[in-house]
């Protein structure tokens, strides 16, 4: 598919990017479907349905924050607490996470940036125990990251849209402090895009097609897939050959 740009500067006016930070869920790994599936099952008990307007409010947040949104927005907080929801959801997700697949273009882009000496890392709201399960089949690829900042990292006081995770990630690159203007973030979630902007960084959004396009507005670039990313537009080394 062709690139789709929203609120994007012309390439010539974009900052020179030297460092890259990746979100993980829904961006590198196809895990968001697991959350949706489990939440649909839980809501069905209360004769309610799970929709994308609710998912958009939950995506990218720390687990307990997303859980509070879930029970309050669906009107079931008097029947199911956020904490009990997380316990129930956890039981179902444990078996799903180890089957996580990579999103299209993730492997190609990570290996390309690493091979060309561009410092890369992950900043995710996922906690350590879930990270281990989700990346079980992809450990070699994730080992190419300079570092990984998780949602339960002590430096991440607040989840997205607060910038804590991205700021912590930027501080851990060699040669820090890195100018936020030289950092490019890849995100799929509205709260993550806002967190990147709050950190003073540029952000490429790769949203699920079911997400309302009103959430695209603050991203510097919006793509259908990581396969559509053109590194040259951001001053990064070009791919040797087009995506298959």
Residues taking part in catalysis:
23, 25
- H-assigned helices in the chain: 32-44, 52-58, 63-73, 82-96, 106-115, 128-134, 139-142, 164-171, 190-198
Return the DSSP state at 177.
Answer: P
Which residues make Cβ contacts (< 8 Å) with residue 64, sequence separation at least 6?
Answer: 82, 83, 86
Q: Coil, strand or helix: which one is 67?
A: helix
Neighbours of 66 (CB within 10 A): 23
89 vs 229: CA distance, rounded Å: 34
């Amino acid at each position: 598919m062709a690139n789709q740009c929203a609120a994007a500067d012309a390439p010539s006016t974009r900052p020179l990017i030297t460092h890259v930070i990746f979100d993980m869920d829904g961006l590198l790994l196809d895990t968001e479907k697991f959350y949706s599936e489990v939440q649909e099952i839980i809501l069905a008990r209360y004769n309610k349905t799970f929709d994308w307007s609710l998912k958009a409010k939950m995506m990218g947040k720390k687990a307990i924050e997303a859980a509070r949104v879930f029970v309050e927005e669906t009107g079931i907080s008097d029947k199911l607490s956020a904490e009990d929801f997380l316990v129930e959801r956890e039981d179902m997700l444990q078996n799903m996470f180890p089957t996580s697949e990579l999103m299209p273009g993730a492997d190609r882009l990570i290996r390309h940036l690493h091979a060309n000496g561009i410092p890369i890392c992950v900043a995710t709201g996922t906690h350590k125990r879930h990270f281990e399960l989700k990346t079980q089949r992809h450990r070699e690829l994730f080992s190419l990251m300079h570092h990984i900042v998780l949602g339960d990292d002590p430096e991440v006081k607040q989840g997205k849209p607060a910038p804590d995770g991205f700021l912590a990630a930027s501080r851990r690159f060699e040669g820090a402090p890195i100018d936020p203007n030289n950092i490019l973030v890849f995100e799929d979630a509205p709260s993550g895009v806002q967190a990147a902007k709050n950190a003073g960084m540029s952000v490429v959004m790769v949203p699920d097609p079911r997400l309302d396009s009103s959430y695209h507005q603050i991203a510097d670039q919006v793509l259908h897939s990581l396969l559509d990313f053109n590194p040259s537009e951001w001053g990064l080394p070009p791919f040797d050959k087009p995506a298959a």
